[in-house]
Amino acid sequence: MTENIKQSLHQSLLHAILYYNDELNEEQGGFIVKIRNKEEYRFIPIRNSNTGTPTALVLYTADVAEFNEKIAMPMLDGEWSVYASFHTHPKGMRALPSSRDLTELFTSFATNYIYAPGKELNMFDYNAKPEFGCYNWNTSNIMTFNGFKPIIK
Ligand SMILES: [Zn+2]
């Protein structure tokens, strides 16, 4: 990817999907950042700190050092803010948040995307419901895959 290409939100989501390494067979992910004062987004992949272990098959945990270097530091410089988290689920599973997604990953970000390879891309954004004394997540289906296979050369 060329760093300087301007991306819409949908282009950055497409980039996140295309970044998925089908052969790794692990949960993968990263973050979508929004460029300051612009309608420009960018997907920044961050390695799964569980990579190479059985945990990685079912859990994406962003590597802290890489997150700090590639996302937090530029954010402190005012370049961008984190718009959303993005992670994949194991093949065959749906793109619905696990209990660990809800209690760990989602507690840090108001907008979260989950991609089930070849199946669906869903967005979950925070919806405070003070009348119930709790919160929940709005679920939006961004894309459902129905067998169309693009030819990538
Ligand atoms: Zn998950």
Question: How far does the centroid of ligand 1 lie from the alpha carbon of residue 31, in Å?
Answer: 14
Kindly list the protein residues that place their beta carbon closer than 5 angstroms to ligand 1, a single-atom ion: 98, 101
Question: How far does the centroid of ligand 1 lie from the alpha carbon of residue 114, in Å?
Answer: 7
Question: How far does the centroid of ligand 1 lie from the alpha carbon of residue 87, in Å?
Answer: 7
Question: How far does the centroid of ligand 1 lie from the alpha carbon of residue 149, in Å?
Answer: 24
Quick one: pLDDT at residue 147?
Answer: 58
Contacts of 90 (CB under 8 A, 6+ apart): 25, 27, 57, 58
Look at residues 35, 32, 36 and name the one whose alpha carbon lies nearest to residue 10: 32
Question: How far does the centroid of ligand 1 lie from the alpha carbon of residue 19, in Å?
Answer: 17
The helix or strand, by DSSP H or E, that contains position 17, with its residue range, turns out to be: helix 9-19
Q: Of the ranges 33-37, 97-101, 138-142, 145-149, which one carries the lowest mean pLDDT score?
A: 145-149
Antiparallel, parallel or unpaired: β 80-88 and 111-116: parallel
Q: The whole model's pTM is what?
A: 0.87
Give me the amino acid identity at 8.
Answer: S
Question: How far does the centroid of ligand 1 lie from the alpha carbon of residue 112, in Å?
Answer: 10
- Taking the C-alpha atoms of residue 92 and residue 104, their distance in angstroms, rounded to an integer, is 23
User: Percent of the chain, pLDDT > 70?
Assistant: 88
What CATH number does domain 9-144 carry, 3.30.470.20, 4.10.640.10, 3.40.140.10, 3.40.50.720?
A: 3.40.140.10
CB of 46 within 8 A of CB of 13? Answer: no
Question: How far does the centroid of ligand 1 lie from the alpha carbon of residue 37, in Å?
Answer: 30
Task: Specify the higher pLDDT residue, 16 or 152.
Answer: 16
